[in-house]
Amino acid sequence: MHRHHRPSPRHSLAILVANLEARAPLDEGDRAALLSLPHSRRTMSPSAYIVRDGEVPGPCAVLLSGFAYRQKVTSDGARQIVSIHLPGEMLDLQHLHLDCADHSVQALTEVEIAYVPRQTLREVMAERPGIGRAVGVASAVEASIAREWMLNIGRRDARTRLAHLLCEFAMRLERLDLSGDYGYELPVTQEWLGDALGLTPVHVNRMIRALAEEGLIARHHRAIRFPDWPAMRDVAGFSEQYLHFGAQVAV
């Protein structure tokens, strides 16, 4: 039922290689180096901390299955979700080079994590340009998504903002074959959505039903479908360019 819990078939880190390789070329040596990275595997429950704000970053976490998210909190206790992560993504790129975590990373669903020693990872990146490049691409894409979120939160009204986020999830999940027919399971509460969008849960609820009444989304519990995807895209003003799908050719 939860396809995002599917473990990677042959090797733990195969999903990382696949994720990196989707955008940047890796040679045989790069692949072998990545797959032979020392790591320990661990399963964690929803809302468990993977990285904790203010602490010294530990080993680098790679998400093997399940979803994770990043969040920050104001001095008043208000929370902002700043990103969501899908299987194959590295959760510590942001802290790999920093000596103090500036935000928290938590499990959204039950997750499997591979922990790779920071130093080893840095060495491999330094020794193999292909890997350094691939990690650079992954990092740049993450930054691009962050910028789009800023635009979303700062400059779109609530309904459009929600629609845009739902479109992004749809595209990203579909790319990993974690959804079918533009429909997917969204394992979050409306409060979580509000914290990702800079809205209150009450208003998120109203916008969800507004979209539903317009026939732009169809829900069943927390599963969501898009009966009219073109219309949905249009309402959201969505363009996937910022996701940089596809190989990034060297120029």
Partner DNA sequence: CGTTTAATTGAAAGCAGTCAAACTATGTGG
Partner DNA sequence: CCACATAGTTTGACTGCTTTCAATTAAACG
Distance in angstroms (rounded) separating the CA atoms of residues 199 and 125: 39
**Is 191 near DNA (CB under 7 A)?**
yes
Distance in angstroms (rounded) separating the CA atoms of residues 31 and 20: 10
Residues linked to residue 113 through DSSP beta bridges, in sequence order? 42, 63
Nearer to DNA, 6 or 206 (CB): 206
- For residue 90, how many C-alpha atoms fall within 13 Å in the half-sphere facing its CB? 28
Nearer to DNA, 61 or 186 (CB): 186
Total number of residues that touch DNA (CB under 7 A):
18
**Is 175 near a second copy (CB under 8 A)?**
no
Mind spelling out the 3-state secondary structure of 131-170? HHHHHHHHHHHHHHHHHHHHHHHHHCCHHHHHHHHHHHHH
Instruction: Tell me which of 3, 5, 42, 79 binds a second copy, using CB under 8 A.
Output: 79
Total number of residues that touch a second copy (CB under 8 A):
61
- For residue 57, how many C-alpha atoms fall within 13 Å in the half-sphere facing its CB? 23
**Is 157 near DNA (CB under 7 A)?**
yes
From the list DNA, a second copy, none, pick the one residue 208 interacts with, judged by a Cβ distance below 5 to 8 Å according to partner type: DNA
Residues 48-67 that bind a second copy (CB under 8 A): 54, 56-57
From the list a second copy, DNA, none, pick the one residue 220 interacts with, judged by a Cβ distance below 5 to 8 Å according to partner type: none
From the list a second copy, DNA, none, pick the one residue 102 interacts with, judged by a Cβ distance below 5 to 8 Å according to partner type: a second copy
Residues linked to residue 40 through DSSP beta bridges, in sequence order? 115
* Contact stretch for a second copy (CB under 8 A) within 8-16, 96-104, 180-188, 211-219: 96-104
Kindly give the pairing relationship between strand 68-73 and strand 104-107.
Answer: antiparallel
Site string (97-116) toward a second copy, x via CB under 8 A? xxxx-xx-------------
Helix axes 158-175 and 229-236, enclosed angle (nearest 10): 130
Instruction: Tell me which of 35, 158, 171, 243 binds DNA, using CB under 7 A.
Output: 158
| DSSP character at residue 7 | P
**Is 202 near a second copy (CB under 8 A)?**
no
- Residues near DNA, by CB under 7 A: 157-159, 189-191, 198-203, 205-206, 208-209, 221-222
